[in-house]
Chains A and B, each alone.
Chain A
Amino acid sequence: MAQEDVFKKIVSHCKEYGFVFPSSDIYDGLAAVYDYGQNGVELKNNIKEYWWKSMVLLHSNIVGIDASIFMHPTVWKASGHVDAFNDPLIDNRDSKKRYRADVLIEDQIAKYEEKIVKEVAKAKKRFGDSFDEAKFAKLIHACSKINRNAMLCTSVTLRLCRDLTLKN
């Protein structure tokens, strides 16, 4: 089963067995807000109890508090959240959709990294036992940091690596 399908099944299992419901379900839900159901709240409370006790009971020098959600507005000036707690956003004029610019770029980097993993697997097949995977991954990683385009350097690294493994 593809991992994506597994995740979909988990989400629907959560709803079917009272772990997590969409918020305001009878109004068709509210995006990115969820409610914990009769089983979900028990599980969540158990997680919290496990954490709380591991802190407060197991460490004599740790104590707990319960502060309010509202705080003096200057707190958020001092913490830097008013001035710097921002996401960079970008809109696409055609789809009228809004995206986080950093997420778009990170997804692109992830795509490159995926290709690198495939290259490593390929190289491993080619060089057999003499292949030093850790060294190769390091090389590619170092290379992708210097180079704008990670794929370009992969072939360079492959060549480098061939020389290296031959020497070994």
Chain B
Amino acid sequence: MHERYTAAMQGPNLEELKQIILDEEIVDPISGTKNWTDVRQFNLMFSTEVGSLSDQTNKIYLRPETAQGIFVNYLNVQKTGRMKLPFGICQIGKAFRNEIVARQFVFRMREFEQMEMQFFCQPGTEMKWFEYWKKHRLAWHEALGMGNDNYRFHDHEKLAHYANAATDIEFKMPFGFKEVEGIHSRTNFDLSQHEKYSGRQIKYFDPDCNENYTPYDVETSIGVDRMFLSVMCHSYTEEQLENGETRVVLKLPEALAPVKCAVFPLDKKDGLPELAQQIVDDLKFHFNTHYGDPKDSIGKRYRRQDAVGTPFCVTVDHDTPNDHKVTLRYRDTMKQERVDIDDLRKIMEDRVSITSLLKKINVD
């Protein structure tokens, strides 16, 4: 069945797809019947019209992928940036697909965001770079510390006609291992196509071998929303506390947390709110710091920050005006320690910075 299905998808052979559904006696999950229509093709691109005329010549599409924006700018970037092969162009942006079956929350949306990088190289070196990017992209994921066992590669058995290697990086979601990123060796297909349709030469003169050629391309393409979902799924934790309560905590990688630090005055008295605000005003230039109003109990305020994944909470109490010290509480361990106000930034800044994540990327 698998073999027959992949063969039918290649054409695609619509009659054969319908035949498989009939032969396998697949029923509608709602009606439970096998009363199927024929299989039809449906284009996934959204379209609209440019300007005021509404004839076909003004039809314009919302991009279904960000990759083409890179290919059509290849010449501009290569020339103006004096780029030498191999080199890459990356971008982050929205793309749109008119999905029929959109499901699993932000996993498959009609409007979504991609982070793509096209790496251009000399023909014949593409497999080396394909392996390089497989390794580097996996290391990027692993540096987040969300468990190396939760990732796996899924190599494509059947390749698109223009690709000579393709793999997915899958992450273990609550609904199974799902594709988060794709790494594809796309040969010179895209640049050649644009040469053909635009009539422009898209060639690179390689001074090392004195040759003109159309570069080969290795693509890494990751869905921002899927990445977001994998982080949320991994971080969501329910813990049983000793007092019988349940604590909901988002154990986000610290550098990704929306709020890095929350500062609480214990109560409204003795100028504690002003002191807490002063700490916020100092830290806010370095990372996202929130002030937590004393109308809720300290316990409640801690729980609220746990639920949004804030890695550090700082409490200003009645000893603070005298000893210049505050209570620092850690999200994951709930451990608390007394530290000097002046040490706060030093303790937190390194742990919550993107730089700390970048340094953890380990490609050996």
Contact = CB atoms under 8 A, between A and B. Distances in A.
B39 A89 contact: yes
A109 B1 contact: yes
Contacts of A39: 258-259, 308
A4 B176 CA distance: 10
Contacts of A34: 105-106, 109
Contacts, number: 298
Contact of B115 (A48, A81, A101): A48
A50 B354 contact: yes
Given A40-B258, A54-B140, A67-B73, 19 more contacts: A7-B173, A9-B236, A10-B174, A11-B105, A16-B307, A44-B225, A47-B228, A54-B361, A62-B117, A62-B119, A66-B93, A68-B69, A69-B96, A73-B59, A76-B61, A88-B40, A98-B100, A101-B14, A102-B17
Nearest to A49: B354
B103 A7 contact: no
Contact of B26 (A31, A46, A108): A108
A65 B72 CA distance: 11
The B contact surface, by secondary structure, is mixed
A32 to B, nearest CB: 3
Contact of B197 (A38, A41, A78): A78
Interface of A: 3-4, 6-7, 9-11, 13-14, 16-20, 31-34, 38-44, 46-59, 61-82, 85-95, 97-106, 108-109, 112, 144-146, 148-150
Chain B residues touching A, range: 35 or more
11 contacts: A49-B354, A50-B140, A50-B255, A59-B88, A61-B83, A61-B86, A88-B17, A94-B31, A98-B100, A99-B100, A112-B1
Contact of A7 (B12, B102, B233, B309): B233
Interface stretch (B3-11, B324-332, B342-350): B3-11
B66 A67 contact: yes
B280 interface: no
A11 B232 CA distance: 9
B267 interface: no
Interface stretch (B163-171, B188-196, B207-215, B268-276): B188-196
Contact of A65 (B21, B33, B73): B73
Contacts of B262: none
A57 B358 contact: yes
